[in-house]
Amino acid sequence: MPSAQNPFRVLSRHRNFRIFWIGQTASLVGTWMQTMAQGWLALELSNSAFLVGLVASAGSLPIVLFSLPAGVFVDRRDKLRIVKVAQSLFLVEAAALWLFTWTGHLTIGWLLFFAITAGTISSVEIPARQSLFVELVGGREDLRDAIALNSGGFNLARIVGPTIAAIVIARLGIAWCFGLNALSYLAVLIGLFLIKLPDWVSAPSVVRPIDGLMEGVRFMRDTPTVAALMKMVTVFSVLGVPFLTLMPVVARDRLGLDAAGYGVLLACVGIGGLAGALFLASLGDRIRQDTLALGSYAFAAFLLLFSLVRVAAFAYPLLLAVGFAMIVNSAVCNSLLQSITPDALRGRLMSAYSLVVVGLSQTVGAFIAGAVARLLGVQWSIGISAAVMLAYAWYALSVRPELKDVGRIMSEG
């Protein structure tokens, strides 16, 4: 087996992606600061667990409602320009949150409004940004490495952002988490304006938007490997990702931890995810059938074990493993989908992907997880979800034929 390659190779090979990745990772640190501060502020304003959850999920609802039509829009427009406009709007939203909080005018109603506004922008920005990767690396040769490294930046920000937010809240006040997030968007905007891509040429289209939407749906439905991958992404997002929503309950009621311990649990997931992303980037073209199987089976199995744990010392290494496997599963699925999808349909495919991974996981998934936790207990909610994921992974990877030749798909992509 060939030796592992440098996981950061794609940064040295592609100037545009290097500029984008540095700015995007810096911006994501600010985003995680805002996410943590927003949840804490919701609790301070309402003292209601229900409203805290409502604020957390409000940003996902527009993604569920608007992502698919946004994909048609993205496929017919200059993706780099869309991302520039969206990041500018995020800056304005974060600055407004800072101003309202700093002046003492923020209410729970305004907090919900800003969350919905950010979600509406995200419904267009996420598919545009995801489908821009192939242009930033000049084709499909290094696309899977770029996707893996982007996941690494996301998890690095998930580790650093909440840590900085805790310090900022203690020293400067919660408003400055929003202010620093607004400043972080300047980093990504500077990078976006430094990126040089060939001039975008509008392709004439006589297809109505609804017909363009249905074209994307038919492609996902009628392409067997794409359909199988989207089903796996849906099952693992709706059942797997919401364990993070239940983590405060696990930390306090199962493991007897305080807020600092809860932060360590989240950091373990982020560190594991970063390691998983770098592992994938080091594989390069050697992603095979067993790489997808590794991520899928391990994610479900380690999550099942985590549901049984009552001691924090065992929870930390398990969450490192969960974070590692979760990123391997999601990044390989994303890479496969983008390798198969024609460029003309990439925005629509990524809009469906974001609808599932961001929208459904944080609305339907979080609701199901919370309902089961309330009825049976948090350990049963996580454990049942993990068991279903494990069974589905066996069915999709061992019984069905669509994902039997992942290595060939990746090499041809």
The residue among 263, 328, 273, 321 whose CA lies nearest residue 155 is 273
8 phi and psi angles, rounded to 5 deg: -95, 10
- pLDDT score, position 259: 63
Same domain, 186 and 229: no
- pLDDT score, position 101: 93
| 224 compared with 3, residue with greater pLDDT | 224
Confidence of residue 295 (pLDDT cuts 50, 70, 90): very high
Q: Give the chain's domain count.
A: 2
The answer to whether residue 224 is domain-embedded is yes
257-261, 292-296, 328-332: segment of lowest average pLDDT? 257-261
Asked if 360 contacts 236 with a C-beta cutoff of 8 angstroms, the reply is no
Same domain, 277 and 363: yes
15-46 and 108-136 helices, crossing angle to 10°: 170
CATH of the domain at 349: 1.20.1250.20
- pLDDT score, position 1: 39
- pLDDT score, position 155: 76
The answer to whether residue 173 is domain-embedded is yes
Same domain, 227 and 183: no
Same domain, 214 and 128: no
Same domain, 33 and 164: yes
- pLDDT score, position 210: 78
Confidence of residue 6 (pLDDT cuts 50, 70, 90): low
| Cα distance between residue 355 and residue 357, in whole Å | 6
Confidence of residue 315 (pLDDT cuts 50, 70, 90): very high
Q: How far is CA 311 from CA 157, 208, 253, 308, in A?
A: 27, 57, 11, 9
Question: Which of 172, 195, 218 is the last residue in one of the domains?
Answer: 195
- pLDDT score, position 257: 82
- pLDDT score, position 198: 80
Same domain, 244 and 381: yes
First to last CA, the chain: 21
pLDDT digits (tens, 9 = 90+) for 102-137: 999 999 899 999 999 999 999 899 888 888 888 888
Is residue 100 pLDDT above 90, yes or no?
yes
Same domain, 391 and 258: yes
Domain of 277, in residue numbers: 210-413
Q: Read off the pLDDT of each residue in 74-100 and give the average, rounded to a whole number.
A: 92
The answer to whether residue 95 is domain-embedded is yes
Q: Read off the pLDDT of each residue in 372-387 and give the average, rounded to a whole number.
A: 90
The answer to whether residue 49 is domain-embedded is yes
Same domain, 49 and 158: yes
Confidence of residue 142 (pLDDT cuts 50, 70, 90): confident
Question: Which of 137, 160, 195 is the last residue in one of the domains?
Answer: 195
Same domain, 96 and 241: no
Same domain, 228 and 103: no
Q: Read off the pLDDT of each residue in 274-294 and give the average, rounded to a whole number.
A: 77
Confidence of residue 182 (pLDDT cuts 50, 70, 90): very high
- pLDDT score, position 49: 56
Same domain, 275 and 215: yes
The answer to whether residue 228 is domain-embedded is yes
The answer to whether residue 4 is domain-embedded is no
Length of the chain: 413
- pLDDT score, position 3: 47
346-354 and 209-222 helices, crossing angle to 10°: 80
Same domain, 238 and 163: no
| 217 compared with 47, residue with greater pLDDT | 217
Question: Which of 160, 195, 230 is the last residue in one of the domains?
Answer: 195
Looking at every residue in the chain, the average pLDDT score rounds to: 84
Q: pTM (2 decimals)?
A: 0.80
The answer to whether residue 167 is domain-embedded is yes
The answer to whether residue 203 is domain-embedded is no
- pLDDT score, position 176: 92
